[in-house]
Amino acid sequence: MDIIGGHSLPAIADDAQVRLGKFEYAFWIGHVLAIGFIKLTLLTFFRVLFRGTHANPNVRTVPANAETFYYTGRAFWTPFDYANWTLITLVVLWTAVFLFSEIFACGLDPAASWSSLASLRGQKCVDTFGLQAANAASNWVLDLAIFIEPLLMIRVLNMASKRKIQLSLVFLGSGFAVIAGLLRMIPWLQIKIQDLTHPVIRILATNLSIADQTAIVSIVLFWTYIEIGTGFLVACVPRSAWVFDKVSFSSLYYKLRSFSSIKLSSKGGRSSSHTKEAESQELKQSSSLRSQEFTSNYHSAAVSA
């Protein structure tokens, strides 16, 4: 896409402005859904992984609230339950609020968000820079909380130390998403704080022309892509590990070896059959030569007689 990853100097063209605005409008709506569902996937996975890690050994009878007992596997909530359900509630609210805000940032006239930069900053639209800065900042705080939660709980799991280390490394991978979220938040805060009437704006450690909208948007989009991609990868790794645990690589190796040996034996059988055919042809040729020699010798003997 020519509107992303380049520069728009000395100024962005009108048609490029419209295409960039449409892309941003769709992208920021999609990114809220993607990040929200990735967070919910991780939090629900934590509930499966860490459920019952603080079971109360003194509970011997089924309490009156049997429904809660059978649903959670215990008659009380642990600090993990409170923290996890609090994060789930916050993520659901975050997704709903910012999804609504992104869709209706310009009221019932979404075209105002991409028709021109003046219309985007006009009275029809909210402060989109402030909206994106609030989105990125709150998103980073949630990322940080979700990153810390499993690392604090892994130590109490009833599993081998090697398995704990492997699981910790998987969740440490989400640290890249936290860093990417931070590097996405900083440009939005810089844009919000700096004077946009100044000809030069500083994004991260780079000075850009205020007219170079393509480069400014590309930097923010880049770190958003990294955050979503890393989060998606971390959310999929635990389930993928379960799939690979079910696969026996030793049996797969022996199957491949047997298949290759079958192919080699079939090739060997073909080569042996070709060898036998060649030997039979040589015997036929030698026998025909012998008969020809016998015939010629017989005729020569008869002539001499």
Please tell me the least confidently modeled range out of 12-16, 67-71, 111-115, 234-238: 67-71
* 143's tokens: 């990322």
80 pLDDT tier (thresholds 50, 70, 90): confident
247 or 231, which is more confident: 231
pTM above 0.85, yes or no: no
Q: Is the pLDDT of residue 270 over 70?
A: no
Question: Are the CB atoms for 237 and 173 separated by under 8 Å?
Answer: yes
User: What's the pLDDT score for residue 63?
Assistant: 44
Is residue 197's pLDDT more than 70?
Answer: yes
DSSP state of 159: S
Is it the case that residue 89 has pLDDT exceeding 50?
yes
238 vs 166: CA distance, rounded Å: 10
In this predicted model, what pLDDT tens digit does every residue of 153-167 receive, in sequence order?
A: 887 777 777 777 877
State the DSSP code for 226. H
Q: What percent of the chain has pLDDT over 70?
A: 66
State the Cα–Cα distance between residues 190 and 216, nearest whole angstrom: 11
- What torsion do the CA atoms of 218, 224, 230, 233 make, to the nearest 10 degrees? -100
Structure tokens at 200: 């030069």
Residue 149 or residue 245, greater confidence: 149
What average pLDDT score do residues 29-54 get? Answer: 86
Residue in 94, 104, 103, 100 with CA at minimum distance from that of residue 135: 94
d(CA 8, CA 205): 19
DSSP structure class, residue 207: E
From the list 175, 215, 189, 71, the residue with the least C-alpha distance to 137 is: 189
Phi, psi of 16 (to 5 degrees): -65, -35
pLDDT reported for residue 246: 60
Cis amide leading into 187 (omega within 30): no
Lowest mean pLDDT among 156-160, 175-179, 206-210, 267-271: 267-271
**What does the pLDDT read at residue 289?**
53
Q: Return the structure tokens found at 8.
A: 């728009």
Partner residues linked to 207 by β-bridges = 202
Mean pLDDT over residues 173-199, rounded?
87
Tell whether the model's pLDDT for residue 254 goes beyond 80: no
